[in-house]
Amino acid sequence: MIIDGVTTASFDELVEIETDDGERRLGKVLEIGNGKAVVQVFEGTTGLAITGTRVKFLGKTMAMPVSQELLGRVFDGLGRPNDGFPDPVADKFLDVNGEPMNPQSREYPTSFIQTGVSVIDGMLTLVRGQKLPIFSGSGMPHNILAAQIARQATVVGTNEDFAVVFAAIGVQYSEAQYFKRSLEESGALRRSVLFVNLADDPAIERIITPRVALTVAEYLAFDLGMHVLAILTDMTNYAEALREISAAREEVPGRKGYPGYLYTDLANNYERAGRLKGKNGSVTQMPILSMPADDITHPIPDLTGYITEGQIVLGRDLFRKGIYPPVNVMMSLSRLMKDGVGEGKTRSDHMEVGNQLYDAYSRAQEVRALAEIVGKAGLTGVDLKYLDAGDSFETHFLKQSPDENRNLDETLSRAWDILATLPEGELTKIKDKHIQQYYKANK
Amino acid sequence: MVAKGKIVWVSGPAVRADGMSSVKMYETVEVGESKLIGEVIRLTGDVAFIQVYESTSGLKPGEEVVGTGQPLSVLLGPGIIGRIYDGIQRPLDDIAEKSGAFIGRGITTSPVDMKKKFKFNPTVKKDDTIFGGSILGTVEETPLLTHKILVPPIFPEATITEIVKEGDYDLEDVIGQANSKNGDKIGLKMYHKWPVRKPRPYAERYDPTVPLVTGQRIIDTYFPIAKGGTGGIPGGFGTGKTVTLHQIAKWADSQVVVYIGCGERGNEMTEVLVEFPHLIDPRSQRPLMERTVLVANTSNMPVAAREASIYTGVTIAEYYRDMGYDVVLVADSTSRWAEALREMSGRLEEMPAEEGYPSYLASRLAEFYERAGRIRALGSPDRSGSVTIVGAVSPSGADFTEPVTTHTIRFIKTFWALDTRLAYSRHYPSINWMQSYSGYLEDISKWWKENVSPDWYDLRAESYHILQREDTLKEIVRLLGPEALPDEEKLVMEVARMLKIGILQQNSFDKVDTYCSPVKQLKLVRLMVKFYKESQKALKEGKSLADIRALPIITTLLKAKFEVTDEQISKLDEIDKQLSDSFKGDIEEVKVSV
């Protein structure tokens, strides 16, 4: 929407639009100059006419009222209550765009979060203040996994305030409901804040949804000292909304029609995770995105992977085999694992076991491919052991039920069960000390 | 005359202002009431197009724009080492002090503490002649680095009329006076400013003939980079670009490291800040932070400052080069810098070339990489220094045919291609040895021959040949299975596996393996090649491959990289002897102590 005759508006300012019949909508200034302002209308332009529409510049940028009372509430994609209760009393108003965290003021993330999911705790450890996305595909159980993590995540041996901020971005009603129910059933809803922008809500609103959610997450973490897990689903819808606006503004497109600033824009959201020196709380982010046609090189997962600290990739093959969670460990990675595990944090053999499992499963995959050509008969003894180890990795370690909460000791002992089936000489990534302690004990 | 105009249009980091007829191209300006810092990037009539280095939220048409008369410059003097700067040389710790944990706007700070006293030790005396670039004296900037106080590069020939005695001075103190030939009196200080977009001049350029030793086997032995050279390291996400760059920044045998975090993760910069003060330089036993400068413009910081951060970093690097030091500049990642160019170009409504990037992307990349080099510095005394540039490239979808990668390849001489498949199988560093290359191999082989061993070049070639053969044999195995190969070729596969595990793979997080000295590198390669030759001989003599595969010496060879430290390097000679013994007589009967 372009408005003429503007003299005093400023860039990024919030705009209130009143239609002929008195309906009010919000928007913000994208471009201003020469008496004209380009305004992005959050609730869409349906029903707006050239004549009769009034516009008021509000003189402030978009802000979210925040207070402790937000916990347990449900909001729409723009941060307005939609659970039938009145507006919460605001403690203060915060600009939804936030400000970049100073790298000098960041505290490097090192505390291990136990999610109770073996494959994550054992091989893709989540650390407080990390941003670890789930790359999924349509139909795969990313929501079940995210909900399980939200219910089970704890930092062992502490009893600190924990909160969940959930932003549904253009998702189906049933998915949003699933999350809400899941949090309700586990009693976690009263320490959660939900933002819901459904698939049939205006696409443009989706630009704001993760921003209001992360503003609240930052407030809870750094003002109230809570440990916040922020789940954003589905970032693909967010990027598509961004593309829609960019196309409407006739900008020069980058790859696949997405704007050239997609990386910067995504980073402005993802980088709002972390810990700060001298502050108690933390924001841990778990964005979920569905890879269009399961293609990890598509711009959305690709740019996300460049920003986030690792990724959990769900695999179609494992999903078809009926394995939950269907995590493709070879493509997955947690960059901060090395800093969150080991002596004094988890267990001294943790990292080595994780590396050795990767190694073993990778060999198992190679042997599987080979067995398809030459048949099992053509394999050597060690190769056959790897073949079995690969199978038991999937059934004994990877697979677990969505309501099964395994502690770290159980996870690692399952890992050793698998490693114990391999000859000792194959465990090249494990120090002798741990072989003595765990491998021999398992024999 | 100071240019003063008014904003007429705002869109993101791009601002148009009119009434700016007296402003110069690339002049720094103060934008709006909050005095945001910006730079003029285009002039049409009296309308200036300005890129603003801070968030423009809340900026209005009608607000004032004031020129500073200066191009974007960095302040060069003692106090830079050990600091972390944003893209336009504002120290992040000062910003944190002024605006808290989140970065505010319109903050002005000094790049170095102008009040801090440094102990100045003059090396010139009265009546000495000085030129642009001459050294006036020294200051101990950190215990690891002696800062040489330089005369600004553009300076008339002059005679010293006065120079202070050894003592403590701050940056604003006048430390000397000089008279130029046409009689001008010039005061000398311990710092000067230099515009970032202009390469600092030098007297003469040398050929790069000395390798930059990084302690990383695949780099030093197979794809080396020379001091003053250029290298590019493209790779998809998760392939270990940042870890490899951190390794170079940690272990390279240079005196100064400039690390530019350009549009990357905030936590990565924090990691450097946390880790480097505790890492000890193997040569001087001092913390690595005492030779490191960080320029951090993370992905969520303003995009225009990201564009500037590369130039800020390289200018600081050139300054230390001019003192006669070897400097390594690491830029992570140049793709994000190119994206910043693309974003500004889009806002300027320029005609795009490939994938929306501006048509001048290639020339900008070329200009940047050409600022690397080994040179003879201006002024007296005679000295040479170098800037080595290593740039990371983040190709979208790990596709090396995208514009930033293809253009970068044209301007670099060492190419380390990171491979997603190697990374998935946890082979780190995931540098693909078939795709990578080094243009410095011939130039620096003389150094290796003279300083390490005369057979370096041959050993490298022989071992690389094994890897090449394995690459072709792999295809046959994929189609027909391993049993289709004759024993001789199976041996090639086996030795290639050993080379991959024992030489190419290197664990950055292992205390011993993280740094491997040139001598150790050579000895390890020599052992592998010897094993191959001995095995070949044994096969010809009728021994079976199964027996060779069962030799316990193999495990010893594979673990030598982290079992043998640099201090006990002679252990490798013992292993060499064990290796010879393994093949003596009937090989099954030989017992080897491991």
Q: Rounded to whole angstroms, what are the CA distances from B462 to A236, B323, B465, B526, B528?
A: 49, 40, 5, 10, 10
Residue of A nearest to B296 (CA): A103
Q: Rounded to whole angstroms, what are the CA distances from B333 to A82, A255, B72, B307?
A: 43, 19, 22, 11
Long-range pairs for B34-42: beta carbons < 8 A, 24 or more residues apart: B34/B105, B34/B106, B35/B106, B35/B108, B36/B105, B36/B106, B37/B88, B38/B65, B38/B304, B39/B72, B39/B304, B39/B308, B40/B67, B41/B344, B41/B348, B42/B348
Q: Where are the alpha helices (DSSP H) in B176-221?
A: 217
**Beta strands, E only, B106-203:** 118-122, 129-130, 135-142, 145-150, 158-163, 167-169, 176-180, 185-188, 192-195
| B-contacting residues in A 13-32 (Cβ below 8 Å) | 13, 30-32
φ, ψ (nearest 5 deg) of residue B544? -90, 155
Residue of B52, B57, B86 to mutate, interface with A, max A Cβ within 10 Å:
B57
CB–CB contact A355 B426 (8 Å):
yes
Q: Could you check whether the bond before residue A234 is cis, i.e. omega within 30 degrees of 0?
A: yes
Residue of A94, A102, A294, A329 to mutate, interface with B, max B Cβ within 10 Å:
A102
Rounded CA-CA distance A216/A236 in Å is 22
**What pLDDT is stored for residue A382 in this prediction?**
83
CB–CB contact B346 A251 (8 Å):
yes
**What pLDDT is stored for residue B593 in this prediction?**
43
Burial class from Cβ neighbours inside 10 Å (0-12, 13-18, 19+) for residue A397 reads buried
**What pLDDT is stored for residue B354 in this prediction?**
86
Instruction: Compute the count of residue pairs across chains A and B with CB atoms less than 8 Å apart.
Output: 199
Contact of A281 with chain B, judged by CB distance below 8 Å, is answered with no
Contact of A310 with chain B, judged by CB distance below 8 Å, is answered with yes
Residue of A nearest to B424 (CA): A330
DSSP line for A70-131? GTT-EEETTS-B-SSSPPPPPSEEEETT--PBPGGGEEPP--EEB-S-HHHHHHS-EETT-B
- CA of A145, closest CA in chain B: separation in Å? 22
| B-contacting residues in A 368-407 (Cβ below 8 Å) | 370, 373-374, 378
Q: Does residue A349 contact residue A412 with C-beta atoms inside 8 Å? A: yes
Q: Does residue B558 contact residue B524 with C-beta atoms inside 8 Å? A: no
Tell me the percentage of chain A whose pLDDT exceeds 70: 100
Q: What is the dihedral of CA A171, A172, A174, A179, to 10 degrees?
A: 0
- CA of A264, closest CA in chain B: separation in Å? 6
Q: What mean pLDDT value characterizes chain A? A: 90
DSSP line for B539-584? HHTT--HHHHHT-THHHHHHHHHHHS-STTTTHHHHHHHHHHHHTS
Contact of A110 with chain B, judged by CB distance below 8 Å, is answered with no
- Please tell me which of the candidates B101, B296, B396 has its beta carbon nearest to residue A302: B396
Looking at the DSSP assignment, which residues form a beta bridge with residue A197? A169
Contact of A122 with chain B, judged by CB distance below 8 Å, is answered with no
CB–CB contact B339 A261 (8 Å):
yes
Check residue B11 and report its DSSP letter.
E
Chain A residues whose CB is inside 8 A of the B9 CB are 31-34
Rounded CA-CA distance B561/A163 in Å is 46
Q: Does residue B548 contact residue B495 with C-beta atoms inside 8 Å? A: no
Q: How confident is the model at residue A25 (pLDDT cuts 50, 70, 90)?
A: confident
Region at A303 (left for phi over 0; alpha for psi -120 to 50; beta for the rest): alpha
Please determine, for residue A102, whether its predicted confidence score (pLDDT) is greater than 70: yes
**What pLDDT is stored for residue A443 in this prediction?**
66
- CA of B72, closest CA in chain A: separation in Å? 22
Contacts of A67 (CB under 8 A, 6+ apart): A88, A89, A90, A91, A92
Q: What is the dihedral of CA B570, B574, B575, B580, to 10 degrees?
A: 140
- CA of B577, closest CA in chain A: separation in Å? 23
- Please tell me which of the candidates B10, B56, B269 has its beta carbon nearest to residue A103: B269
φ, ψ (nearest 5 deg) of residue B584? -80, 140
- Please tell me which of the candidates A32, A105, A425 has its beta carbon nearest to residue B61: A32
Chain A residues whose CB is inside 8 A of the B56 CB are 11-12
**Beta strands, E only, B173-323:** 176-180, 185-188, 192-195, 204-206, 230-234, 256-262, 292-297
DSSP line for B375-441? EEPSSSS--EEEEEEEEEE--GGG-TTSHHHHHHHHH-SEE--B-HHHHHTT-SS-B-TTT-EETTH
For B58, what's the count of Cα atoms within 13 Å in the CB-facing half-sphere? 16
- CA of A423, closest CA in chain B: separation in Å? 14
Please list, residue by residue across B517-551, b when 16 or more beta carbons sit within 10 angstroms of its beta carbon and e when fewer do. Answer: bbebbbbbbbbbbbbbebbeebbeeebebeebeeb
Chain A residues whose CB is inside 8 A of the B355 CB are 254-255
**What pLDDT is stored for residue A205 in this prediction?**
87
**What pLDDT is stored for residue B453 in this prediction?**
94
CB–CB contact A100 B300 (8 Å):
yes
- Please tell me which of the candidates B298, B299, B346 has its beta carbon nearest to residue A263: B299
Residue of B nearest to A298 (CA): B397
CB–CB contact A263 B336 (8 Å):
yes
> Could you tell me the pTM of the whole model?
0.91
Chain B residues whose CB is inside 8 A of the A309 CB are 265, 267
| B-contacting residues in A 344-373 (Cβ below 8 Å) | 355, 358-359, 362, 370, 373
Chain A residues whose CB is inside 8 A of the B62 CB are 7-8
Cα angle: A21, vertex A24, A29; to 5 degrees:
130
Residue with tokens 């983040």, as numbered in its chain: B394
Rounded CA-CA distance A363/A372 in Å is 14
Chain A residues whose CB is inside 8 A of the B57 CB are 11-12, 61, 95, 97
Chain B residues whose CB is inside 8 A of the A259 CB are 346
Residue of B nearest to A106 (CA): B270
Q: How confident is the model at residue A193 (pLDDT cuts 50, 70, 90)?
A: very high
- Please tell me which of the candidates A32, A104, A306 has its beta carbon nearest to residue B10: A32
For B85, what's the count of Cα atoms within 13 Å in the CB-facing half-sphere? 31
CB–CB contact A307 B399 (8 Å):
no
- CA of B6, closest CA in chain A: separation in Å? 11
Q: What is the dihedral of CA B259, B265, B268, B269, to 10 degrees?
A: 50
CB–CB contact B396 A32 (8 Å):
no
Which helix (H) or strand (E) segment is A214 a member of? helix A209-218
Rg, C-alpha atoms of chain A: 24
**Which ipTM value was assigned to this complex?**
0.86
Per-residue model confidence as pLDDT tens digits over A372-410 = 877 887 777 788 999 999 999 999 999 999 999 999 999
Q: Rounded to whole angstroms, what are the CA distances from B492 to A379, B322, B469?
A: 20, 49, 7
Chain B residues whose CB is inside 8 A of the A267 CB are 263, 298-300
**What pLDDT is stored for residue B516 in this prediction?**
94
3-state secondary structure of A33: strand
φ, ψ (nearest 5 deg) of residue A23? -75, 140
Contact of A94 with chain B, judged by CB distance below 8 Å, is answered with no
pLDDT in single tens digits along all 594 residues of chain B: 688 999 999 988 899 999 998 999 999 999 998 889 999 999 999 999 999 998 888 888 999 999 999 999 999 999 999 999 999 999 999 999 988 888 888 888 899 999 999 999 999 999 999 999 999 999 999 998 999 999 999 999 999 999 999 999 999 999 999 999 888 899 999 999 999 999 999 999 999 999 999 999 999 999 999 999 999 999 988 898 989 999 999 999 999 999 999 988 888 888 888 888 888 887 778 898 999 999 999 988 888 899 999 999 999 999 999 999 999 999 998 999 999 999 888 888 888 888 889 999 999 999 999 999 999 999 989 999 999 999 999 998 888 999 999 999 999 999 999 999 899 888 999 999 999 999 999 999 999 999 999 999 999 999 999 999 999 998 888 777 777 889 999 999 999 999 998 999 998 888 889 999 999 999 999 999 999 999 999 999 988 888 898 888 988 898 888 888 888 899 999 999 999 999 886 555 444 443
